[in-house]
Amino acid sequence: MLEIKNLHVAVGDKEILKGLTLSLKPGQVHAIMGPNGSGKSTLSYVLAGRAGYDITSGSITYNGEDLTALAPEERAAKGVFLAMQYPVEIPGVTTMTFLKTALNSQRRARGESDLDAIGVLKLVRAKAKTLNVSEDMLKRALNVGFSGGEKKRLEILQMSVFEPKLTILDETDSGLDIDALRVVAEGVNILRDPSRAMLVITHYQRLLDYIVPDRIHVLAKGRIVAEGGKELALELEAKGYEHIVKDVA
Amino acid sequence: MTLAIADRKAEAAAIFSGHGVPHRRVEEWKYSDLRSALGDAGIGAAQAELHVSQMAAGIESFDLSQPNPPTWVSAHFGQAHRNVMSAASLSLAQGGMAFRVSGAIAEPLKLEFAAAGHVCALLVLEAGASLTLVESVGIANFRNVGLEIVLGEGATLEHVRMSPQSGEAVLVENANVRIAAGAQYRAHFASFGSKLSRMELEIALEGDGAQAHLSGVALLDGNRHSDVTTHVIHRTGNTHSTQLFKHVAGGHSKAVYQGKVTVAKGADGSDSIQSAKALLLGDAAEADLKPELEIFADDVKCAHGAAVGDLDAESLFYLRARGISENDARGLLLQAFLEDAVAEISNTDQRELVRTELLTALKAIA
């Protein structure tokens, strides 16, 4: 589903990703762990198509297509979803209006017909209930005045409404208490199925107790420096990143 | 000792001839060069028209071109003529209408200014009266409107004015509003810009508890211009004013806000907030925001702010990453930017009307 080969990415003059290679198959959940500044968020933004990240060499292929040639909205319509670390507050646009506009934009781009207001409302309400997203949050301006936990739950609500094929979770666990973490993880796990893939980016092992990955990659200084099964997370938790990172030239 | 109407007109004529047509070297007209917009034609002496498109029973009216005005007209009409363009309209307009409201009127009074030239209007709300005034602006080469509004004690007026887009029109209006104790004036000005478009307000809060709440949006493109210039005077204490203006300028357009708040000596405990924000959609667009405070009293709460910016790149990316096209995302963000000013309109129908007009214009501009 996703093939990243020898990816080099620079922001301005500074090279952040220095030859990253990764392969993700349908049905799989991979985790990317790494210390601060290792390039985790850069990877997530590059996958979503944010401006300001220059791909200097390497390739990203999504379902056989060059992902980097697509605009962010085209990627979304083709099933790529990034749950952001810092969801943006947009005063003046209600959460419900935003969800309806986004969902129908994706549907239209795929040649599907618009869902009417009532159809969207029903869909969103049903999903919102399982994620403890209140009716009030849906009526309020997007992310404005939401707590850290509410913002993250809203990201997962979007994920469950859009039903993406490839989800990237960027530090979705940060700022969540244990109850919120459980709710978020359940929302994610519901979407796990043989047709979808997920990339879980996290600093801590904690989230991976709830979203159990098939494979873990350790990112340091812009490169994958170690790989392993879910037990690698426990090792990192016990020993820290340093013993792995210091071995990297 | 008040002057007779004829004497007020004569005084106004003298004031106008003393100044002439304002131009950019006159500080208050720096961003709106009326003289060059009008060219050789000048302000002329043509007579513009005032059409009443909807008026509920119970509103009294008087045709200002007729002799022998009733006392409620002679007491108030032509008192405001010290501003150069209101002096011009008062001295040159032979017609226009006056309206008087004594009770609570639910149905809006709808007026339309049309044709080229000068015209005056007077609206008097007696104590405790309430009304919604909807003003539409017809397109003309040049029109100069002088509107006077008098609110008696405890009266409430909501004034909504929508100025359509026009490449060629030069539209000038001066509204003078006098607000008695406990009375409230709410006004919203939606402007889509013209060759030169100037809405000027002089508002006097004259009694305890008087309030003025002004808001407006401008959505401009091409070579269009829109100027809203306000002067709010807190004459007595315990008066309250708010202003919220949001402007979007694309193309080579120019959005102007000049807002002056004066708190007179003795008007202690007055409260005023002014906020003006503009978004520029390109390098050739211009926004001039000039909030000003003049305080001669103690213990007042006055806040003002102005900011000019661009659409937030992070918000734009967020919306696009959710599948919303760049064009739609820009439209949504512009709509959101304008929304809090539009939300200031209390009348539901008028609020929806302004929203709809903005949406249509946004589709063309974003």
Using CB atoms within 10 Å of the CB of residue A247, give its burial: 0 to 12 exposed, 13 to 18 middle, 19+ buried: exposed
Cβ contact, residue pair B321, A51, below 8 Å: no
Interface residue B327 vs chain A (CB under 8 A): no
pLDDT digits (tens, 9 = 90+) for A34-74: 888 899 999 999 999 999 999 999 999 999 999 999 999 99
Interface residue B296 vs chain A (CB under 8 A): no
Q: Least CA distance to A51: which residue of chain B?
A: B317
pLDDT digits (tens, 9 = 90+) for B47-89: 999 999 999 999 999 999 999 999 999 999 999 878 999 999 9
Please say if the pLDDT value at position B366 is more than 80. no
Interface residue A158 vs chain B (CB under 8 A): yes
At which residue do the structure tokens 């509103």 appear? B59
pLDDT digits (tens, 9 = 90+) for B136-153: 999 999 999 999 999 999
Interface test with B, best of A44, A78, A89, A90 (most B CBs within 10 A): A90
Residues on chain B touching A48 (C-beta within 8 angstroms): 317, 321
Please say if the pLDDT value at position B214 is more than 50. yes
pTM for the predicted model, two decimal places: 0.88
B349 and B160 in contact (C-beta within 8 Å)?
no
Q: Whole-angstrom Cα distance, residue B148 to residue B113?
A: 14
Q: Whole-angstrom Cα distance, residue B119 to residue B133?
A: 17
Please report, for residues A213, B141, B311, B366, the alpha-carbon distance to residue B326 in angstroms, rounded to integers and kept in the order given: 34, 37, 12, 9
Please say if the pLDDT value at position B207 is more than 80. yes
Closest partner residue to A101 (CB to CB) among B315, B332, B337 is B332
pLDDT digits (tens, 9 = 90+) for A128-155: 988 888 999 999 999 999 988 889 999 9
The rounded percent of chain B whose pLDDT value lies above 70 is 99
Q: Whole-angstrom Cα distance, residue A126 to residue A105?
A: 21
Per-residue pLDDT, B69: 94
Closest partner residue to A73 (CB to CB) among B315, B320, B335 is B320
Average pLDDT, rounded, for chain A: 91
Going by pLDDT thresholds of 50, 70 and 90, the confidence category of residue A244 is: confident
Residues on chain A touching B317 (C-beta within 8 angstroms): 48, 50-51, 72
Under 8 Å CB-to-CB from A96, ≥6 apart: which residues? A120, A121, A124, A138, A139
The alpha carbon of residue B329 is apart from the nearest alpha carbon of chain A, in Å, by: 9
Interface residue A103 vs chain B (CB under 8 A): yes
A168 and A83 in contact (C-beta within 8 Å)?
yes
Q: Whole-angstrom Cα distance, residue A81 to residue B321?
A: 7
Please say if the pLDDT value at position B1 is more than 60. no
Please say if the pLDDT value at position A249 is more than 60. no
* Range list of H helices, chain A: 40-48, 72-77, 95-109, 117-130, 135-139, 148-162, 178-190, 207-210, 231-239, 242-245
Interface residue A72 vs chain B (CB under 8 A): yes
Backbone dihedral angles phi then psi of residue B43, each to the nearest 5 degrees = -85, -15
The average pLDDT across A87-108 equals: 94
Cβ contact, residue pair A84, B318, below 8 Å: yes
Q: Least CA distance to A158: which residue of chain B?
A: B322
The pair of three-digit structure tokens given for residue A216, joined into one six-digit string: 């873990």
The alpha carbon of residue B64 is apart from the nearest alpha carbon of chain A, in Å, by: 44
Per-residue pLDDT, A248: 56
Q: Which of B162, B154, B203 is nearest to B182 (CA)?
A: B154
Interface test with B, best of A47, A50, A53, A73 (most B CBs within 10 A): A73
Q: Could you tell me the residue ranges of all domains in chain B?
A: 5-311
Q: Could you tell me the residue ranges of all domains in chain A?
A: 2-245
Interface residue B336 vs chain A (CB under 8 A): yes
Query: Each residue of B86-110: b (16+ CB within 10 Å) or e?
Result: bbbbbbbbebbbbbbbbeebeebbb
Please say if the pLDDT value at position A247 is more than 80. no
The average pLDDT across A185-194 equals: 91
Interface residue B27 vs chain A (CB under 8 A): no
Going by pLDDT thresholds of 50, 70 and 90, the confidence category of residue B2 is: low
Please report, for residues A165, A204, A211, B184, the alpha-carbon distance to residue A28 in angstroms, rounded to integers and kept in the order given: 11, 20, 12, 64
Residues on chain A touching B337 (C-beta within 8 angstroms): 92
Residues on chain A touching B338 (C-beta within 8 angstroms): 92
Residue B218, SS3? strand
A182 and A210 in contact (C-beta within 8 Å)?
yes
B350-357 contact pairs (CB < 8 A, 24+): B350/B108, B350/B132, B350/B134, B350/B158, B350/B160, B350/B188, B353/B162, B354/B160, B354/B162, B354/B188, B354/B190, B354/B217, B357/B162, B357/B190, B357/B192
pLDDT digits (tens, 9 = 90+) for A78-89: 999 999 999 999
The alpha carbon of residue A19 is apart from the nearest alpha carbon of chain B, in Å, by: 25
The DSSP 8-state label assigned to residue B323 in this structure reads: T
The average pLDDT across B9-27 equals: 94
The alpha carbon of residue A61 is apart from the nearest alpha carbon of chain B, in Å, by: 18
Please say if the pLDDT value at position B362 is more than 60. yes
| CATH T-level topology, domain A2-245 | Rossmann fold (3.40.50)
Start-to-end Cα distance in chain B: 56
Residues on chain B touching A50 (C-beta within 8 angstroms): 317, 321
Cβ contact, residue pair B318, A106, below 8 Å: no
Cβ contact, residue pair B320, A76, below 8 Å: yes
pLDDT digits (tens, 9 = 90+) for B90-140: 999 998 999 999 999 999 999 999 999 999 999 999 999 999 999 999 999
Count of Cβ atoms closer than 10 Å to residue B352 Cβ:
12
- Tally C-beta pairs within 8 A across A and B: 76
Interface residue B315 vs chain A (CB under 8 A): yes
The alpha carbon of residue B284 is apart from the nearest alpha carbon of chain A, in Å, by: 24
The average pLDDT across B299-305 equals: 89
Q: Strand pairing partners for B173?
A: B145, B199
